[in-house]
Amino acid sequence: MAAPAPFNAADLKRRMTGAVEALKHDFGGLRTGRAATSLLDPIVVDAYGAKTPLVQVGSITVPEPRLLQISVWDRGLVIAVEKAIQQSNLGLNPQTEGNVIRLRMPDLTQERRKELVKVAHTYAEKARVAARNVRRDGMDQLKALEKAHAMGEDEVKTKSDEVQKLTDATMKDIDAALKHKEAEIMQV
């Protein structure tokens, strides 16, 4: 039987931080009243026979707080970019002038804001589950080390407490990010 891997607290911390970073990235795609280039991150365009991220076919700028502007580099892809935006279910209506596409951010209704808050809660729960899975992996690792007599009972208890503190701190970060995003979405 192989000896269990040594306990690596830094790896657990990295993985939990990754869950929070993934959550913040997901939140970037949630539309608030303001224009943000990250809103277009999930959009892929049929370009040159392949699915290509929008950011690889043009430059995206925010000339005004409620306006996104895409300068498509290849004029032949303008229609494909328009089509991808319309199919993205972001509720954006592209206006094209040559190889420049403008996207005005429509006002959010109260009902749409509430839907976005629900989506934000779903993203936060996904991050919480990821953090709990990392915690479980850490605890399993400690139990295996104790069972193999590679670590003493007292040391396992100390390390378990560290893992729990790390988990609690990560949950606080997730809750803080959710609260901030919720306030941003509900701001009129």
Mean pLDDT of the 99-114 span: 85
42 and 51 Cβ atoms separated by less than 8 Å? no
42 and 88 Cβ atoms separated by less than 8 Å? yes
Position 2 confidence tier, pLDDT thresholds 50, 70, 90: low
Q: Whole-prediction pTM value?
A: 0.69
What long-range pairs does 150-155 form, CB within 8 A, spacing at least 24? 150/3, 150/4, 150/6, 151/7
Q: In CATH, what is the architecture of 37-104?
A: 2-Layer Sandwich (3.30)
Write the pLDDT tens digit of every residue in 62-82. Answer: 998 888 999 999 999 999 999
Strand partners for 69: 61, 102
Mean pLDDT of the 25-42 span: 77
Q: What is the pLDDT of residue 15?
A: 95
Mean pLDDT of the residues in the chain: 88
Domain 9-28+109-186 carries which CATH code?
Answer: 1.10.132.20
Query: What are the tokens at 49?
Result: 């026979």
* Domain range list for the chain: 9-28+109-186, 37-104
